[in-house]
Structure 1
Amino acid sequence: MPTFPKSLFWRRTDTAGADHALIDDRSGLRATGVALAAAPLPYTCRYELATDPQWGTGRLEVTAEGAGWQRRVRLERKPGEWRVTTSEQGDLGRALTAAGRPRPELPGAEDPDRLAEAADVDLGGAPLFNTLPVRRLGLLSAPAGTEHRLTVAWVVVPSLAVVAAEQTYTALGGGRVRYSSASFTAELELDEEGYVRHYPGLANRD
């Protein structure tokens, strides 16, 4: 078994839950993580991530499961191209309907070509993934006000639908970065290596 030099643990603040990631960032990022959450229904989400040395995503594998269902998605990126494969067991739609939630989208991407411009992935509810553009774009050392608009391959949890999402990251200085997507905005507090300490409305790390 490989030895990972770092362990990061976040407590969810929007629902009962947590996210624990083991990471190796000596050359790009290698990470394995487990996220638990009580909403929109109780689930466990396991992920494995690998980037290139410049922190552009190379591969992401995610498994989400709960009572009576399991979904998996694998994303592999080459320049200008994403390959997305999925599998599903049980009926997440029935579980969500029973919990009073709308039926979810199918796992995976309806049209992977729409992801072509994305260099990053973003896994719903997992603060680790905000570090990818922060490190890739050098936002920790960038002058305050530096702004980058980018397309990411966003993996919705727990459905594991994959969609192209437009996001903006703005350096604020002092270990802070503003993140926005559509009408949502959050001011992230980062440590000296670019990992999230405080994500308002989502998670905190001690």
Structure 2
Amino acid sequence: MYAHYCWEPVDGVGFEDCAVSFSPGIQADGLVVAVGGDDDATRVRYRLRTDSEFRTETVRVDRFDAGEGDDAAASDSLSLVAEGGSWTVDGEPAPALDDCLDVDVAVTPLTNTLPIRRLGLAPGESAAIAVAYLDPRTLDVSRAEQRYTRLPSAGESDGDGDRYRYESLTSGFTATVAVDAAGVVRDYPGAFRCVRSPSET
């Protein structure tokens, strides 16, 4: 059974609709439309699947470009497959991604859920990880180092979820994200806000 989540960017104009299933593992199908500061439109569909321990198995990203005439319907795609920590990109070995267990698709907060569920951190615990970082706007894939820390509760739990500190060890960026009981991002300061979740339908 799939649950639907929708996010909007904090800055700019855009929207994401994502259908996600949590049994077994995670299966997700998301559609993102965003307009940047130069009126550049990003139209991306991503599909991903993990195993029952939330390790990424497959990712496909389709990018749709707006253009003139015959180019209006043109699209590019990229497929990633991970088997036991070894990755291929469009069928070609990608040794730079060896031992990465998660994918981070730049245009969606959904992929923050993958390490959150996989790591199963207790309050106060943290873990450094390596991820396959995928930018759908360019279809570039690279290795990135990150850290997740589950923050202690500020008070009695209300059942709405937890907070995690996300750190990019590559760029130095940090953010404190709030997640629901399923580990899906509700609030990502400066980046995304959830405007529709299963509890609101």
Answer whether TM exceeds 0.5 for this pair.
yes
For residues 14 and 51 of structure 1, the distance between their equivalents in structure 2, rounded to whole angstroms, comes to: 30
Residue 118 in structure 1 maps to residue 100 in structure 2: yes
2:76 to 71, 96, 107: 71
Deviations 1:95-124 (A, max 9, x none): xxxxxxxxxxxxxx9x71010010000000
**Structural mapping, 1:177-196, within 5 Å:** 177-181=164-168, 182-196=171-185
State how many pairs are aligned. 177
2:115 to 110, 116, 133: 133
Q: CA RMSD in A?
A: 1.6
Q: TM-score, normalised by structure 1?
A: 0.82
Q: Conserved in 2, the CA contact under 8 Å of 1:125 and 1:202?
A: no
Q: CA deviation at 1:18?
A: 1.2
Tell me the equivalent position of 1:166.
145
1:81 to 75, 80, 86: 86
Tell me the equivalent position of 2:11.
14
Greater shift in the superposed pair: 38-47 or 74-83: 38-47
Instruction: Give SS of 1:26's match.
Output: coil
List gaps (5 residues or longer) in structure 2: 68-73, 154-161, 196-201
**Structural mapping, 1:10-159, within 5 Å:** 10-39=7-36, 41-68=40-67, 69-85=74-90, 112-139=94-121, 142-144=122-124, 146-159=125-138
Q: Conserved in 2, the CA contact under 8 Å of 1:120 and 1:152?
A: yes
Tell me the equivalent position of 1:101.
none
Q: Conserved in 2, the CA contact under 8 Å of 1:187 and 1:199?
A: yes
Q: CA deviation at 1:14?
A: 2.3
List gaps (5 residues or longer) in structure 1: 87-108
Q: CA deviation at 1:177?
A: 0.2
* AA at the equivalent of 2:76: R
Q: Percent identity?
A: 34
Instruction: Give SS of 2:151's match.
Output: strand
Q: Conserved in 1, the CA contact under 8 Å of 2:61 and 2:136?
A: no
For residues 173 and 22 of structure 1, the distance between their equivalents in structure 2, rounded to whole angstroms, comes to: 29
Tell me the equivalent position of 1:99.
none
For residues 143 and 203 of structure 1, the distance between their equivalents in structure 2, rounded to whole angstroms, comes to: 24
Q: TM-score, normalised by structure 2?
A: 0.84
For residues 150 and 96 of structure 2, the distance between their equivalents in structure 1, rounded to whole angstroms, comes to: 27
Deviations 1:63-113 (A, max 9, x none): 112223522100000013101018xxxxxxxxxxxxxxxxxxxxxx9x710
For residues 61 and 187 of structure 2, the distance between their equivalents in structure 1, rounded to whole angstroms, comes to: 24
